[in-house]
Amino acid sequence: MRMLKSVLYIVALPVLLLVIWYLATAFGEKNFFVPTPTLLAETFVDTWTWDRMTRDVFPSLTRLLFGIAGSILIGIVAGLLIGSIRWLRALLEPTLEFFRAIPPTVLIPVLMLLIGIGDDMKVAVIIFGAVWPILLNTIEGVRAMDEVLSDTTRTYGIGGVNRVRYLILPSAAPQIMAGIRQSLSIALILMVISEMFAASSGLGFTIVQFQRSFAIPEMWSGIVLLGIIGVVMSFIFQLVERLVLRWYHGLREIENAA
């Protein structure tokens, strides 16, 4: 019963929106730029064949995965260092604020000149934009570490890798995961934008080609595919978060039950 209720919560709003969309296109004024749900579903099946998936979708997802992995690695390692060393934080904070204020899309022409128009440029754009939520949340997570626990580990002589593994990472993990959640949507947006410049394949390139050739249902089908990718990423992240933070969620449930 509980699972059925959860499924209903998930599908209720999308179904309601589909019904409104169907009624508006079936009985309202016809609009060339807004296809009917039936036409869009047929176009989606016809457009996103296995051949197009291997040519456009899988390369985009590969760039996205490399970009997210690079953002997580750089964000966590740099965040642990900056958050743990006070003088390093004081030294880097103004510089980080400067780079954080630069929109990643502005750097695309610069990166095209410096490293070319290949996959490296697109991955670099994703990393530059998606790394900030992870980096800043990791720094704050380390700074908010329990002082009593920190002093206790220092008293018992726990330092180096063991201190990072058993104290700092678990303490900062909830905020690190919050940063990763924010960076996923940023990475997806930047993946599409980076493929709109000097690209010959990818989801962003394909959607722009559909728009320029007035293939409106095909263009909408690409947007729907991006939404589906975003939903799948969100579900995968929730599973990973449940696994990584199972101790944290258990603690929260106990606190709420008390």
pLDDT in tens, 111-132: 888 888 888 999 999 999 999 9
Tell me which residues of the chain have a pLDDT lower than 70.
258
Q: Is 180 exposed, middle or buried (0-12, 13-18, 19+ CB in 10 A)?
A: buried
Q: How far apart are CA 155 and CA 210, in angstroms?
A: 64
Per-residue pLDDT tens for 81-109?
999 888 998 999 888 889 889 888 888 88
Query: Are the beta carbons of 38 and 221 closer than 8 angstroms?
Result: no
Of 193, 217, 191, 196, nearest in space to 206 by CA? 196
3-state secondary structure 155-191: HCCCCHHHHHHHHHHHHHHHHHHHHHHHHHHHHHHHH
d(CA 208, CA 79): 37
- Using CA atoms, how far apart are residues 153 and 147, in angstroms rounded to an integer? 10
pLDDT of residue 147: 82
Decide: 138 and 80 in contact? Cβ < 8 Å: yes
pLDDT score, position 223: 95
pLDDT score for 258: 66
> Residue 76: what pLDDT?
95
